[in-house]
Amino acid sequence: MTGILSTRNQPRRRGTCPGVLAPMEVGDGFLLRVRVPAGALPADHARRIAELGDRYGNGLIDLSHRGNLQVRGVSSEGIGPVTDALRAMGYVADDAASEAVRNVLCSPTAGLDPCGVDVRPVARTLDVRLAEDSVLHRLPPKFGWLVCGGGLGHLADSSTDVRFDALDGGRFQVSLGGTLAQAAPLGLCRAEDVADVASALGRAFLDLRAEQPEPPRRMAGLVAAIGVEPFILRLSTPISPLPPAFAQTKFALSRQADQRSAESGERIKVRGTHLMDIFGGAEPPHPNLLPREEKEISVGKVVAFPFGRLTCATLSALASVCTEIRITPWRALLLVDPTADAEATARARGAILSHTDRRLKLTACSGVRGCDVGTTDTHATALAIAERAGPLLDRVRMVHVSGCAKGCAHPGAADVTLTARDGLYDVAVNAKPGDAPLRAGLSPDDAIACVAGLSVEEFSGA
């Protein structure tokens, strides 16, 4: 078996991202990424996509960390019918280039959370502009945009190239390259100017990167090299300077919440009050931020899945117990207006229904079952770690099982990282895939035992 696995493809950068018009051939067939504007998927569309995945694919759906649906295992003969059906639903652009640039992440609770700003119209307008502006089609494949309305489903910790974070319904903070805390702020723009500012920044990125000896592919790299002033000088749409006392980590909750905080003199804690930190708990969403008459308001039912993988049958079943599905960047779905039996339906389908579930600490790529590079069953390894390494998982943020050194599921560092190599694993701590390991060349069983045996002291000292 090891000899067979060692002949598989070597890790490689494909230099592109999958789409409906640019299906990517992987280990289990073709992968089609469906970009849903503002991440809001009507229930009837979800059912139709599930039908397509069952008929023409292998019956599996992935939720990407960019808030997209990915239909797996589509046959070459099935690409045409799937594309036609998705086009009829409005999810197919004019061509592959205009599709590829539409990497817009939108707050999944927009329009549902009274403590956030409904930024869906802004996100949809930006989506259309990106598809129409042919100059922007030259942007690198992974170049991304983010429109955050704050509140319970904020995107403060999501990293992207260009951020628009709402301060209220009419103003957005514009910043470049990273999470809200990391990104370099430019200033404030009006909601109606977001698309124009985005277009100008995309064009500026293309021009400015071309002047570099080694053109960066992401905004953070270019900002690190030249700063933000060259971007500001190229903006034809004016942006306002940030107020002197503006805190970079501030994001919109609501003017009502700010007013209640000021009137009571009580400091409202925002950090830690996030959809994925509280779902499935006994308390209603952000009870301290809502007035008494709103305390029973719920934005919907969160259903997560190990590694963001679910079956088409599960997607169809979930669509039958809600009116709309919001696709989150956290490998979870938000069911809007769920029926009384929505939780039972999700539980029967193996969904994760509580933020305390240890499987949420695990990240894994498709591995040998879905990638022509993978040599191990990464999902099976990760689930075994969930069963055997509970005490460790309770103390860390993430354990990453990577099918190769490329680290598609999580290119950055994790508390514990297992990197597969010819059917074996290297185990490292506080490391990225491919970094120097603590233990090398372990069988899957031995790697699981190694992770389970890590003490907190050993881990902390690494």
Contact criterion met (CB below 8 Å) for 193 and 177:
no
Query: Which of 105, 157, 149 minimizes the C-alpha distance to 254?
Result: 149
201/3: higher pLDDT: 201
Mean of pLDDT values over 313-328 = 98
Cβ-Cβ contacts under 8 Å for 96 (sequence gap 6 or more): 19, 21, 22
Query: Using CA atoms, how far apart are residues 334 and 326, in angstroms rounded to an integer?
Result: 5
Give the pLDDT confidence score for residue 242 in this predicted structure.
81
Same fold, 104-233 and 358-460: yes
Query: Which of 139, 135, 128 minimizes the C-alpha distance to 101?
Result: 139
User: pLDDT band at residue 206, thresholds of 50, 70 and 90?
Assistant: very high
Give the pLDDT confidence score for residue 365 in this predicted structure.
93
Residue 261 has pLDDT above 80, yes or no: no
Give the pLDDT confidence score for residue 198 in this predicted structure.
98
Query: Which architecture characterizes domain 14-95+300-348 according to CATH?
Result: Alpha-Beta Complex (3.90)
Q: Look up tokens 């239909």; give the residue.
A: 71
Query: Using CA atoms, how far apart are residues 329 and 359, in angstroms rounded to an integer?
Result: 16
Mean of pLDDT values over 11-37 = 86
Give the pLDDT confidence score for residue 325 in this predicted structure.
98
Q: How many CB atoms lie within 10 A of CB 326?
A: 27
Per-domain residue ranges for the chain? 14-95+300-348, 104-233, 358-460
Report DSSP state, residue 145.
E
The per-residue DSSP string of 410-428 comes to --S-EEEEEEEETTEEEEE
Query: Which architecture characterizes domain 358-460 according to CATH?
Result: 2-Layer Sandwich (3.30)
The per-residue DSSP string of 22-52 comes to S-EEETTEEEEEE--GGGEEEHHHHHHHHHH
Give the pLDDT confidence score for residue 8 in this predicted structure.
54
β-bridge partners, 324:
42, 336
Contact criterion met (CB below 8 Å) for 100 and 17:
yes
Query: Using CA atoms, how far apart are residues 316 and 48, in angstroms rounded to an integer?
Result: 8
Query: Which of 125, 123, 101 minimizes the C-alpha distance to 110?
Result: 123
The per-residue DSSP string of 222-291 comes to HHHHH-SHHHHHT-SS--BPPPTT--TT-----HHHHHHHHHHTPPPP-TT--HHHHTTSSSPSSGGGS-
Give the pLDDT confidence score for residue 257 in this predicted structure.
40
The domain covering 104-233 belongs, at the CATH homologous superfamily level, to Sulfite Reductase Hemoprotein, domain 1 (3.30.413.10)
Q: Look up tokens 């579930």; give the residue.
A: 357
Give the pLDDT confidence score for residue 245 in this predicted structure.
57
Cβ-Cβ contacts under 8 Å for 341 (sequence gap 6 or more): 321
Q: Residue 272: which region, alpha, beta or left (left: phi > 0; alpha: psi -120 to 50)?
A: left
Cβ-Cβ contacts under 8 Å for 7 (sequence gap 6 or more): none
Mean of pLDDT values over 169-186 = 94
Query: Using CA atoms, how far apart are residues 366 and 28, in angstroms rounded to an integer?
Result: 10
pLDDT, mean over the chain = 88
250/424: higher pLDDT: 424
| 360 alpha-carbon distance from chain centroid | 14
E strand map for 37-144: 40-42, 60-63, 69-74, 104-106
Locate 238 and state its tokens: 């004016």
Residue 84 has pLDDT above 50, yes or no: yes
Residue 183 has pLDDT above 60, yes or no: yes
User: pLDDT band at residue 457, thresholds of 50, 70 and 90?
Assistant: low
Contact criterion met (CB below 8 Å) for 416 and 401:
no
Mean of pLDDT values over 434-459 = 90
* Percent of the chain whose pLDDT exceeds 70: 85
Contact criterion met (CB below 8 Å) for 104 and 321:
no
How far does the chain reach from its first CA to its final CA, in angstroms? 33
Residue 282 has pLDDT above 90, yes or no: no
Element (H, E) at 435: none
Query: Using CA atoms, how far apart are residues 411 and 397, in angstroms rounded to an integer?
Result: 15
Report DSSP state, residue 352.
B
Contact criterion met (CB below 8 Å) for 456 and 390:
no
